[in-house]
Amino acid sequence: MGKRKEGGFELVAAMPWPAGLALGLVTFVGVQYGIGWLLASSSNPILSGLAKLASSGFYTPLAWLALIIFCIAALASFLRRRKRRHLLESQTGMDSLRSMDWRTFERLVGEAFRRQGYAVEETGQGGADGGIDLVLRKDGQTTLVQCKQWRSQRVGVQVVREMYGVLVDRGAVAVKIVALGDFTTEAAAFARGKRIELVDGRTLLATVKTIQAKKEPEGAQEQPVYFVVSVLACLLIAFVLSTRQQAQLANAPRAPSVPAQPPFQRSTATPSIPVIQPATAPTPPTASTKPEVYKADSPMSDDELREWEKRNREAMKILEKTTPELETAPAPAPAPAPAPATY
């Protein structure tokens, strides 16, 4: 039977959850810093533009999204591990083994081998009709497992022969065929003396009972507190890295923006002749002058007035002698006395 197609989420969920968290943190750093580092040296303008986007924190949301997906996959792995442990602890006899479907039966077998010190990988190549269901690794050696959850049919020699051919082809150290029922006599005879172990339902139940009797405490990977602390530490590391990048961007010196020059255009208009204007002499600053204040003369006394009239008559006589035209002119009337000034 062909291998089932599994997405990336299922692949991560099949890993131990600490490996999923570590892979998520590596992916976060790779998206946050690796894209810009890989594309920075490229001469392609498109790739260089992508590198500049990475340096500006453009891919930070994508990095957080990837990390959250890995954390969810790690949570699925953690819950599956606890479910498998409960599945083994809850078995009471052959009836409980017969009541489960073939997928649950494979998980029970895998948990039983894991509790015996094997690193268990669920390949997904098997199914209800056969194939390699589990790959066990221990001390550098690989063992292949096929599970047969047949309730009313015994496993025949044909199945054993097929698994022996897979053993030789894969170069594994041994093959285990685990069945809910029993094996035929021909199958047992064929497996005798070869690296093939046949495990029937009673043997499997005895193994489960032995593991239950040991009452092994939960390991660190099965404790919720340990899982929660690990997830928070992973998210905290990612937050510190993201904050550090934002601080570096904020403190980075920015190049001054240069205005874009308009494209050169050849002008067809006649160049204008500059007009030279004559220089004007600078106007000297005018000093601020205070307004003049005129004061009226003091009024004349009677003696001064008579003296002024006498001089005026003498001046007129001299003028008449020197100017003939004025001889016939009537004598000017005496000038009125100036009015006294008022204050």
Mapping DSSP onto H, E and C, the string for 233-298 reads HHHHHHHHHHHHHHHHHHHCCCCCCCCCCCCCCCCCCCCCCCCCCCCCCCCCCCCCCCCCCCCCCC
Residue 165's CATH number? 3.40.1350.10
Q: Considering 231, 250, 269, which residue would you say is the last residue of a domain?
A: 250
Q: Does 84 share its domain with 222? A: yes
Task: Supply 270's token pair.
Answer: 């006649």
Q: Give the structural domain span for 185.
A: 101-216
Q: Does 72 share its domain with 119? A: no
The reply to whether 278 falls in a domain is: no
Q: Considering 250, 273, 299, which residue would you say is the last residue of a domain?
A: 250
The reply to whether 291 falls in a domain is: no
pLDDT at 340: 55
Q: Considering 216, 240, 266, which residue would you say is the last residue of a domain?
A: 216
Q: Does 32 share its domain with 118? A: no
Q: Does 229 share its domain with 200? A: no
The reply to whether 22 falls in a domain is: yes
Task: Supply 242's token pair.
Answer: 């993201």
Q: In angstroms, rounded to a whole number, what is the distance separating the alpha carbons of residues 147 and 124? A: 12
Q: What is the pLDDT along the chain (343 residues), one digit of tens a residue?
A: 444 556 788 888 888 899 999 999 999 988 888 777 766 666 777 766 776 776 666 778 888 999 999 999 999 999 998 999 999 999 989 999 999 998 999 999 999 999 999 999 888 655 544 578 999 999 999 999 999 988 878 999 999 999 999 999 998 999 999 999 999 999 999 999 999 999 999 999 999 999 999 888 777 788 899 999 999 999 999 999 888 766 765 665 555 555 555 555 554 555 555 555 555 555 555 544 555 555 556 677 778 888 878 888 888 888 777 766 545 555 555 556 555 555 4
Q: Does 211 share its domain with 229? A: no
CA-to-CA dists, residue 46 to 38, 39, 170, 184, 255, angstroms: 13, 10, 46, 67, 21
The reply to whether 274 falls in a domain is: no
Q: Domain tally for the chain?
A: 2
The reply to whether 296 falls in a domain is: no
Q: Does 143 share its domain with 229? A: no
pTM (2 d.p.)? 0.60
Q: Which residues, including other chains, have CB under 8 Å from residue 243's CB and lie 6 or more apart?
A: none
Q: In angstroms, rounded to a whole number, what is the distance separating the alpha carbons of residues 178 and 160? A: 11
Q: In angstroms, rounded to a whole number, what is the distance separating the alpha carbons of residues 221 and 16? A: 8
Q: Does 113 share its domain with 16? A: no
The reply to whether 233 falls in a domain is: yes
Q: Does 107 share its domain with 148? A: yes
Q: In angstroms, rounded to a whole number, what is the distance separating the alpha carbons of residues 309 and 23? A: 131
Task: Supply 231's token pair.
Answer: 């997830």
Put residue 257 in one of left, alpha, beta given phi > 0 → left and psi -120 to 50 → alpha. beta
Q: In angstroms, rounded to a whole number, what is the distance separating the alpha carbons of residues 212 and 221? A: 19
Q: Which residues, including other chains, have CB under 8 Å from residue 237's CB and lie 6 or more apart?
A: 25
Per residue in 205-244, is it b (16+ CB within 10 Å) or e — as a string? bebbeebeeeeeeeeeeeeeebbeebbeebbeebeebbee
Query: Which H or E run includes 177?
Result: strand 174-179
pLDDT at 26: 93
pLDDT at 3: 46
Q: Does 223 share its domain with 83? A: yes
**221 DSSP assignment:** G
Q: Does 110 share its domain with 65? A: no
Tally: H helices and E strands in the chain = 12, 5
The reply to whether 298 falls in a domain is: no
The reply to whether 272 falls in a domain is: no
Q: Does 64 share its domain with 117? A: no
Q: Which residues, including other chains, have CB under 8 Å from residue 198's CB and lie 6 or more apart?
A: 155, 160, 177, 179, 183, 187, 188, 191
Q: Does 185 share its domain with 232? A: no
Q: Are 112 and 207 in contact (CB under 8 A)?
A: yes
